Amino acid sequence: MTGPSPARVERIGAAEAEDRQRRAAGALLGAGLGPGDRVGFCLGSSVALLCAALGALRRGIVPVLLNATLLPAERDLLLADAAPSLTVVDEQALAALFEGPPAELAPVPLARPMHYTSGTTGRPKGVWSGVLSEAEAQALFDDEADLWGFDAGDTHLVCSPMYHSVSIRFAAGTLLRGGRLVVLGHFDAGAAAEVMAGDGPTTTFMAPTALQRLLRHRRAPERLSSLRLLVHAGSPCPAALKEQAMARVPAGTLWEFYGSTEGQFTVCPPEQWLARPGTVGRARPGRRLEVGEDAVVWCHAPGFARFSYWGDPQSTEAAWRGDAFTVGDLGRLDGDGYLFLEGRREDLVITGGVNVYPAEVEAALAVVPGVEEVAVFGVEDPEWGQRVCAAVVGEVAEEVLRGHAAAHLAPYKRPKQYVLVDEMPRTATGKLLRRALAEGAGCPGTPGRGGT
């Protein structure tokens, strides 16, 4: 069995990227798109995709960036929901965007890309921020670029997929401050190690899973001495991994933030984590954190950070309370305002830094003949952070479940482990106890019929 092909590595500087952004914007304008219109992309990471997205944003056209590993049926459902004026799902159509005449651009993006985040019902929700005024757009850009100190001397390594909001934010901050990018088509530890050794990147973002793979790779330099900033987020980072990374980068380099597709909450420099192990930091500049009696974390955010859920006013209303929003995560604040997360949304599985909601996977598996009941949950995993698992009541072969999942779910959503059980653990009121499933998955003595 062969593994994934080596990652494509591309490099681009600010001047070339500016020209390509202007040409992409010109092509979109020529196709009749204007401020507030959407253009859908479902492609792997590339310099071309990044320039097309930034060119659109600097005209107020909103790119809808979808996970390139989605199956066609999954992709088409999201595109139907977003209703883009133009859809780009192949490399030829993407290349055509750079053949038109260049257009004038705003200094910074006038909108945020629209990313989809799965809801607790299993229906993915688009996070929509609309088109900003020039003043709001500048404030949004500076909020990110100033925090991380991007400037013309930076070479930023983009190794997180572009359907993650952080990739576009960090790349835009670097390019529009005059810096340079190295872009991986997908994360590959060997390619990242070679870039570290050969290009001398000064900044990068990695989910903990990617960071661990890089540090383990035989070609990774013992000291990542070119970095001034290595940021991680997306899933909990084991203390041992964080300490190992700190030992291999210059002092003050390894930072963490806590955020979501919807918005950003905290930032944590290394000295704060060392003083308070386990914290995800304090509120970012211009924000204030609040934890209610129910332990739900709320963030009071500036006006330019407002969002809604596309076509879902009920979920939007539930997410906001005045100028504060929540994504339903639980935590506590200490006396100095440092946030400690006590659990992600109860049903959310974060695997390799990507969100998977059980309801969507359960809906796909529930139609398999022989399945009486199915519950999907996450189990701690040293490589993925969490692995997606499924407990099944009924008479059905595991290979049938795996085959059905392969046909109907993107690879990152497919359960890596199946556990056959006689009944689901529930509270006295009938609520499913996912935590009990996670604690017992595959363990001796678990009520059930085993798991692989």
Give per-residue pLDDT as tens, 6-15.
Answer: 789 999 999 9
Residue 76 phi, psi dihedral angles, 5° rounding:
-65, -30
Rounded-to-integer distance, Cα 193 and Cα 168, Å = 22
What is the chain's length?
452
> Rounded distance, CA 157 to CA 180, Å?
9
**pLDDT per residue as tens digits for the range 48-70:** 999 999 999 999 999 999 999 99
| pLDDT score for 122 | 56
Tokens standing for residue 390: 């499924």
Query: What's the mean pLDDT in 30-40?
Result: 98
Segment 245-265 mean pLDDT: 96
List, for residues 369-419, the tens digit of each pLDDT value.
Answer: 999 889 999 998 888 889 999 999 999 999 999 999 999 999 999 999 999
C-alpha radius of gyration, the chain, whole number: 22
Indicate whether 235 pLDDT > 70: yes
Q: What is the pLDDT of residue 3?
A: 52
- Residue 452's pLDDT is 45
The pLDDT, as a whole number, for residue 441 is 66
d(CA 114, CA 128): 6
- The whole-number pLDDT of residue 216 equals 93
Asked if 158 and 192 touch (Cβ cutoff 8 Å), the reply is no
Mean pLDDT of 151-158: 98
- Other Cβ atoms less than 10 A from the Cβ of 173: the count is 25
Mean per-residue pLDDT over the chain, rounded: 91
* Under 8 Å between Cβ of 343 and 291: no
Q: What is the pLDDT of residue 451?
A: 46
Per-residue pLDDT at 285? 95
pLDDT category of residue 447 using cuts at 50, 70 and 90: very low
Read off the pLDDT of each residue in 123-130 and give the average, rounded to a whole number. Answer: 92
Q: Strand runs (DSSP E) across 242-401, as ranges?
A: 254-259, 264-268, 282-283, 288-291, 297-300, 308-309, 320-321, 324-325, 330-333, 339-343, 349-351, 354-356, 371-381, 385-394
Across-strand partners of 41? 65, 88
Q: Which residue has the higher pLDDT, 439 or 307?
A: 307
| pLDDT level of residue 4 (50, 70, 90 thresholds) | low
Cβ atoms of 118 and 126 within 8 Å: the answer is no
Instruction: Give residue 48's pLDDT.
Output: 98
- By the 10 Å C-beta count (0-12 exposed, 13-18 middle, 19+ buried), 1 is classed as exposed
User: Contacts by 76-84 with C-beta closer than 8 Å and gap 24+?
Assistant: 78/116, 78/124, 78/126, 79/40, 79/42, 81/124, 81/126, 81/310, 81/311, 82/38, 82/40, 82/114, 82/126, 82/310, 83/38, 84/37, 84/38, 84/39, 84/40
Sequence-distant (6+) residues with CB within 8 A of 240 are: none
The CB-side HSE value for 102 (13 A sphere, CA atoms) comes to 10
Per the CB < 8 A criterion, the answer to whether 339 and 280 are in contact is: yes
Span of 146-150, 322-326, 345-349 with lowest mean pLDDT: 345-349
pLDDT score of 449 more than 50: no
Reported confidence tier of residue 250, pLDDT bands at 50, 70, 90: very high
CA dist., res. 333 & res. 353, Å (int): 24
- CA proximity to 305, closest of 335, 262, 367: 262
What per-residue confidence (pLDDT) applies to 443? Answer: 38
At the fourth CATH level, the homologous superfamily of domain 349-440 is ANL, C-terminal domain (3.30.300.30)
Residue 120 banded pLDDT, cuts 50, 70, 90: very low
Please list, in sequence order, all residues whose beta carbon lies within 8 angstroms of the beta carbon of residue 16, skipping any fewer than 6 positions away: none
Provide the pLDDT for residue 221: 95
φ and ψ at residue 320, rounded to 5 degrees:
-120, 145
Q: Is 349-440 the same fold as 9-343?
A: no
Rounded Cα–Cα distance for residues 268 and 282 (Å): 7
Say if CB 157 and CB 200 are below 8 A apart. Answer: no
Beta strand 324-325 pairing with 297-300: antiparallel
Q: Which residue has the tokens 């001047």?
A: 15
Q: How do the domains of the chain map onto residue ranges?
A: 9-343, 349-440
pLDDT tier for residue 355 given thresholds of 50, 70 and 90: confident
User: Which residues are within 8 A (CB) of 352 and not within 5 positions of it... i.e. 6 or more apart?
Assistant: 207, 209, 210, 235, 384, 385, 412
What class, spelled out in words, does domain 9-343 have in CATH? alpha beta
User: Which pTM value belongs to this model?
Assistant: 0.84
Lowest mean pLDDT among 22-26, 323-327, 406-410, 421-425: 421-425
Query: Confidence class of residue 240 from pLDDT cuts 50, 70 and 90?
Result: confident
